[in-house]
Structure 1
Amino acid sequence: MKLILKYKIFFALIGLTATLASCVKEIPIENEGFEEALVVEGSITNEIKQQRIKLSQAFKIDTTGPNPLSGAIIRVNEYVFEEEEPGIYFSKDSFAAQRGIDYQLSISVNGHQYESQPMQLPEPSNIGRLESNRVNYRGEDGVAITLNNQNTTGTANFYRYEFIETFKFTSNMFKTSDIIIENGIAKVVPKLKEEYTCYQTNQSQDLILANTNSLSEDSVNNLLINFINSNQPKISNRYSILVKQFVISREAYTYYEILEELSGSDNLFSQSQPGFFAGNISNITNPDEKIIGFFDVSSVSTKRTYFNYNDFYDPESIRPKFVSDVVCEVTFPTIELLREQLENNAVRWYETPIPLPLNQARPVYVVPRRCVDCTVFGTNEKPDFWED
């Protein structure tokens, strides 16, 4: 999960935090400022894969957020992690967390040694049913994706969710030709690249949590996973969402819940005392060092769903686009200007005047590239999982 956005907001609010209560338990807020802090994003799961740990260094006065921290030696039990890009470490071997084993994160960096508390894999729980419905959410019309989940074992009470959304969309205009300039003349040639149909994929940025600990049964009902406003191009053709459910520990839930509260906009002016809250990672030789982050072990299950524009909207209605038609102004540039526009990849062919001007060196009609080329906003490669 991309918790880095939450951490950035947290740093902006670090001087405003106060004691917060949790429905699970209270984590003390230490009323002390700090100059810098190690940030750890670490979670291993019961998926057989190269597990990932992310390290960065945060500074109180750094408004850009944590900076990648390189050169660390990282282990989880006997598994060694190697740095593949700045601050991003993957386990050298693929492995899956197993029930009944204590997993402990160990980090050695800049002469310091850090360790997490031992964590165990919670009992798995299969993800439930995903539903898509057109709703009015907080005064906005759109499509809501919700989860209904009932765990028959009744033992998994704390959940975190991530999602990856992928949607198919088209450019404003469908054109089969391009322009080149050859011997000072604008020539129309067949298009060699798909530019009409594209796909865009986005990772969730928000923390999505669920707690069934106080309920009579372990069920998650109508949990909002994502809401898509009707004016967003995400819904203009076909939309897919892959939801990932993490069964997490009580301690992890409490940590994420406080992180969510601190980074929420409603807390911006409600905090009055400087503070800091800690996770389950500490410096072995200097317990007073400030460390942001939580090492967790979680059980994972996933589910994907699709919907089409026609499922909720009139197929004859005007569909939302990345570019307003007003922006797609047709122009007739001189050959000198057209050459410059093509070098800058700024325009696409729109139409050739008929009849052709007597002077064949004159250009053709063009429009801004973003009106024809969907790869400005996504990729023209269909994802392997995609189903039409």
Structure 2
Amino acid sequence: MSCIDPYSLDFNQKNSVLVVEGFLTDDVVKPDTIKIQYSNFENEAIRIVPIASVKASVLNVDTNEETKLIEQPKGGFLPPKTFRINTQHKYILKFSLPNGQNYESAPEKITPTPAIAKVYDIFNAQSVLSEDGKKFLSANEVYLDTQDPTEQKNYYLWRYTHFERLGFCITCTKSQYSVQTGACTIPLANFNRTAYYDYQCAGDCFSIFKSKQVNVLSDVASNGQLIKGKLIAKIPTYSPTGCLIQIQQISISPEMYLYFKILEAQTQSNGGLADTPPAGIVGNIKNITTPSEKIVGYFGVVSIQKNNYWIDRKDAKSPYELILGHEISEENATADTSRPPFAPCTASSTRTPIKPDGWQ
């Protein structure tokens, strides 16, 4: 391990904290978004505050070549499409804020990631404890096998994206959906069954669920052996039809492993570094202008192995979880069939109209 020493930073003592997270990867098709944003902890709640006009770049330490990153919405940055990582070189993230503060990360270098050998799932009728703690819910538990290399110590991080087909795109509470306004703008006082109506999607729509829990492993007990039956995800049973999980296996540096182990032990994460109250972990980012500032997060340079796995749910049994969080309630159809209308699938971080790679 290097001299990087991750430790806890109390959000209650400092309401606004700079958070940096993301990877520079060897995936040229879908590079990782590097996020630079403020996280405010107010009234027991986390509020994400994007930062405008940030200038960010990555520096190749070995060649001194600097590549500007392209700013994305909500404080995100991507490398240019022509950028390629040199696997033998180290890289530093550099950025400056409009207030004149300059930041940079410690150097990071890619560690080769072994391929995912096998992915499989097992249906478990009592897999996950419900939020109210009163019952166990069913899920398909997804596992993988991978062959650990013998020539070096290895540290792994796993994450995934889970897709479900969505049949209803908009829910209107005490109102009806208007095609003209594209919103729930038709007031309605009387309801036959519920105080809301759900509207079917006009075309394909897929819900997106990202892994929330930190999932890391050291090969200290399995160096050079087959890592078998590593639990990756517990996918709730939303329907009897299949769904897709896109798995990423990532080799990380010893310093990054230590960082994520502390994060795992302290919080077990709630969806990302910026969403983790009431404390965050100070990682490998430092303020060059004002060294006393503590920055939450970690910038890594990584190699990613992927696997698109289809869960057919052939063993799944009802009852099914409610993907919208409530029972579906539709408007009664009118005689002229003008209502209920269909609603569009609006792309967001949790929804897409584009069929994901690997969908069956």
For 1:319 and 1:197, the matched residues in 2 are separated by 21
- The residue aligned with 1:202 is 209
2:282 counterpart SS class: coil
RMSD of Structure 2 on Structure 1 (CA): 3.9
1:244 to 248, 252, 255: 248
Deviation, structure 1 residue 243:
0.3
Structure 1 residue 262 and structure 2 residue 266: aligned? yes
Considering fraction of residues, name the structure with more strand.
2
Considering fraction of residues, name the structure with more helix.
1
Q: What is the aligned-residue identity percentage?
A: 21
Deviation, structure 1 residue 149:
1.4
Q: TM-score, normalised by structure 1?
A: 0.65
> For 1:330-349, what aligned pairs fall within 5 Å after superposition?
347=331, 349=333
- The residue aligned with 2:37 is 56
- The residue aligned with 2:152 is 155
For 1:380 and 1:210, the matched residues in 2 are separated by 31
1:83 to 71, 75, 99: 71
2:141 to 124, 137, 144: 144
Q: Select between 280-289 and 211-220 the one with higher mean Cα deviation.
A: 211-220
Deviation, structure 1 residue 365:
12
2:80 to 92, 114, 125: 92
Q: TM-score, normalised by structure 2?
A: 0.69
Structure 1 residue 225 and structure 2 residue 232: aligned? yes
Indicate if the aligned counterparts of 1:122 and 1:299 stay in contact, CA closer than 8 A.
yes
Structure showing greater radius of gyration is 1
Runs of 5+ unmatched residues, structure 2? 60-65, 129-135, 169-178, 180-199, 270-277
For 1:195 and 1:203, the matched residues in 2 are separated by 24
Indicate if the aligned counterparts of 1:156 and 1:218 stay in contact, CA closer than 8 A.
no
Deviations 1:135-164 (A, max 9, x none): 243654331111121234553521111211
Indicate if the aligned counterparts of 2:245 and 2:311 stay in contact, CA closer than 8 A.
no
> For 1:235-314, what aligned pairs fall within 5 Å after superposition?
235-264=239-268, 277-309=281-313, 311-313=314-316
Deviation, structure 1 residue 382:
6.0
Deviation, structure 1 residue 30:
7.0
For 2:123 and 2:320, the matched residues in 1 are separated by 15
For 2:68 and 2:159, the matched residues in 1 are separated by 26
Deviation, structure 1 residue 295:
1.0
- The residue aligned with 2:90 is 102
Measured at CA, do residues 61 and 100 of structure 1 come closer, stay the same or move farther in structure 2, by a change above 3 Å? same
Measured at CA, do residues 376 and 76 of structure 1 come closer, stay the same or move farther in structure 2, by a change above 3 Å? closer
Measured at CA, do residues 201 and 229 of structure 1 come closer, stay the same or move farther in structure 2, by a change above 3 Å? closer
For 2:106 and 2:298, the matched residues in 1 are separated by 9
1:118 maps to amino acid: P
Deviations 1:173-217 (A, max 9, x none): xxxxxxx9xxxxxxxxxxxx9759753332223322222224343
For 2:225 and 2:344, the matched residues in 1 are separated by 44
1:65 counterpart SS class: strand
Measured at CA, do residues 198 and 91 of structure 1 come closer, stay the same or move farther in structure 2, by a change above 3 Å? closer
Structure 1 residue 121 and structure 2 residue 110: aligned? yes
Deviations 1:204-254 (A, max 9, x none): 233222222243435432222111344xx2x42111111011111111111
Measured at CA, do residues 250 and 195 of structure 1 come closer, stay the same or move farther in structure 2, by a change above 3 Å? same
- The residue aligned with 2:188 is none
1:94 maps to amino acid: T
Runs of 5+ unmatched residues, structure 1? 1-21, 172-179, 181-192, 266-273, 330-346, 353-362
